[in-house]
Structure formats: C-alpha cells, structure tokens
Amino acid sequence: MVIPTHKTTVIVSSNFSRSVRYTKRLIFMPFVLDDAQTILVEYAGQLVSGQVFLSFEAYGGNYENVVAFDAVRITVKGPSLIVPTSALVIHPESSLYFSVNLDTSPSAVTNIQAISSDPSVVTVSGPQYPAVDTSDQQFQLQHVRGGNATIFFSTSALLGSTYGLIPSAKAQVHVQALKAGFIFSARQISIKPYSNFSLSVGLDSTPDSTVIVYIIPYPSGI
C-alpha cells in the first residue's frame, strides 16, 4: 500500500446511478497507514435488474489522477414473482388452490394473470388479481379432462411499467390432470383356504354413461 503524501479525495461514480445510492466522496488524510473508508450502497428504488459498476478517481498528492474504472460490480435484483409450487396433481371433477406472491411491494397496483396452456385439460380462475403488497394471491384450478398442462404468469401495472416486473421462465406450475379411475377398499388381500373376502370397487368421478367393470384375476389359475 502506498501512503498518501497529501490529503486525497476519491470521487466515486457509477454507470447507472438510478439503481443504487452510494457514498460519492472519500477523504484520505496524508501519512496515515492502512486507512480504509466505508462506502454505503443501498437500493435506489429503480425496480429493474442489472449490473452497476463503481469507478474511483483520486485527486491530491501522489494519488493525483489515479483512476480505477469499473472496479466494483454490483448486481441489482429487480422484483420477482414467487411461485412456491412447481407441480400439482388434480383429480377428476375436482378443483384446488395454489398461491403466488410478489417479493417486493409494487409502486402501483400490479395485476397478476395466470394462463393455462391447455384450457381443455385444466382451467385457472381469475383471470387476474390486483396485488398491492407482498401478500399471497390465490388461483383456483379446475379439472376438465385427463392430460397435462402448464400454468404461466404475466403481470401488468396500472401505471404502465412502474413496477417493471417480468416473471421468470421458471415461474410456472406443471399440472397433471388425472383421468377417471377406480377406488378400491383394499389394495392387498390375504385369503385363507375355503374362505372368502369382500372387495369394494368404485369410480372416482361421476360417469356420463353406464360403466361395466370387468374383474380379471392374474394369474387366473389360483
């Protein structure tokens, strides 16, 4: 470390000052060994993601015109849509709920919209909810038929791009809509010689016509 011979002023600048606020001037006294100054960096409210670089330029004594361009890189994270659930299974003739939320309070009312990739498999209620804070917003899924679909999200603010949020590609829910099936009173049975056992078989959804169920034992010789 080179000890300054005179009082030295260091000017701090950035390539994008609207994203962060920071200490803009540092003062180093002459002939002070291991003098370290603290720079305070804080979020400036520009709700966008990106990279901010800090540069340093010194004035005074043996540090006159010493410059360090882009010496410090700051990663600024914009607001995100949090989707805690990434996969769901829904049964025939049923519905279920899932929640999403914003990790940063928006500066304007922000509509969160959920969209089903295949409404013939599952539909999603809404279609959008206005979020004014970081509380949970609930959406309802409704089973239509067996298959797979993905729920995607979009956002829009009442004041245009005030909030500046574009949901991540990872912010989605994969839904498996089960087809109609059976309900059994037991999945495993033990039976003794010359005895019998009753097994109940039902349908897990309401049939739209007469249903005949064939029972086939395997292997058939036992």
Q: Is the pLDDT reported for residue 204 higher than 80?
A: no
Per-residue pLDDT, 167: 76
Kindly list the structural domains of the chain, giving each domain's residue range(s) and its CATH number in brackets, ordered by start: 8-76 (no CATH), 81-177 (2.60.40.10)
* Residue of 129 and 172 predicted with greater confidence: 172
Residues 14 and 53 sit within 8 Å (Cβ to Cβ): yes
Reading the block at residue 10, the tokens are 């260091």
Give the pLDDT score at 128: 63
Report pLDDT digits (tens) over 154-163: 888 766 554 5
Q: What pLDDT shows up at residue 63?
A: 93
User: How far does CA 18 lie from the centroid of its chain?
Assistant: 25
Structure confidence at residue 45 (pLDDT): 66
- Look at residue 25 and tell me whether its pLDDT is greater than 70: yes
Spatial separation of the C-alpha atoms in residues 60 and 68, rounded to whole Å: 15
User: Is the predicted pLDDT of residue 196 greater than 90, yes or no?
Assistant: no
Q: CA distances (Å), 19 to each of 38, 77, 110, 167, 193, in order? A: 19, 10, 21, 20, 80
**For all residues of the chain together, what is the average pLDDT?**
85
What would the pLDDT profile of 105-156 be if each residue is shown by its tens digit? 777 778 888 999 999 999 998 656 677 788 888 899 999 998 999 999 988 8
pLDDT of residue 58: 95
What pLDDT is recorded for position 123? 94
Strand ranges, E, within the chain: 8-14, 20-22, 25-28, 41-43, 50-59, 67-76, 81-82, 87-90, 95-102, 110-116, 122-124, 128-131, 137-143, 147-157, 173-177, 182-184, 201-203
pLDDT (0 to 100) of residue 163: 58
pTM of the model: 0.61
* Banded pLDDT at 48 (limits 50, 70, 90): low
